[in-house]
A = this chain, B = another copy of it.
């Protein structure tokens, strides 16, 4: 199965050794983005992946493409438009000090100014079997919204699988009303087959309600299946974070049309506080592509999400072998 993603390639700048921006003259430069993260991980799992997006026609665009290729993603559908790359600075948190992200220039980025007319979606879709669309497209600009709708619709028509990620960020939507945002999500969901999201996305964003007449343990499943049925989804998945005695745990849930399964919670030890969600999504997609059982998939995906936190940067660079090692030999912390 040939996997593709549509979304933004961003530049991440990170001071070394947990320093604040004021404390350093050196920053580490990476290229990232939800699509990049998921595709790179799937490439490391052995699948062929392709990114469709736009970058500026300058040295930064060239460097971004080189980086994307290094991550294992094909760059032949990366076009050029506009002059900027959206970027963010990540001051890495430590202990009680949070990781602080500062964005630069997202809406006027090459991706932000590209609408459907700036991509050759038809020819592109000929070469792919599943396309991932990041929900941030619905928030960023009119152009990205236009492109996302167009791609989702075309893919659906061509019988390609559409995987969609809610990725709703209030901070990116201060200028839009809740109703406006709800309508955008409602507009794209009918084209989708696999969706990543949370209970809050369904209740707060889409305005659905839990059926409180049910046992509390069944309310979530019922909600999810109501949602999946409405939009004829094959899979709905997401992660849940829990804190217990000052330790944090990650659990993944995964629902098909029939049932929902949940993984055993895994302790989170974070080298980098960004990226577990995309690691989880990559794991779910791997199981989907390779037709694993729900429970096998959810365990693999959860471990993969946990591992993503032990790797610097947003991109989960795990291999199949590494994930299996954690599942099978969790106490062996030195391999030689």
Contacts and interface: CB of A to CB of B under 8 A. Distances in A.
Interface of A: 13, 16-30, 58-60, 62-63, 66-67, 69-72, 83-85, 87-89, 91, 93-105, 108, 169, 171, 243, 246, 266-267, 269-271, 273-274, 306-307, 309-313, 317, 319, 322, 325-326, 330-336
A326 to B, nearest CB: 6
Contact of A21 (B26, B59, B274): B59
Main secondary structure of the interface of A (DSSP, over half): mixed
B102 A58 contact: yes
B312 A23 contact: yes
Contacts of A326: 96-97
Contacts of A66: 22, 70-72
A29 B24 contact: yes
A59 B100 contact: yes
Contacts of A24: 25, 29
Contacts of A69: 69-70, 72
B273 A101 contact: no
CB-based closest 10 A-B pairs: A95-B269, A70-B70, A101-B336, A97-B310, A21-B63, A105-B105, A94-B310, A59-B102, A94-B271, A69-B69
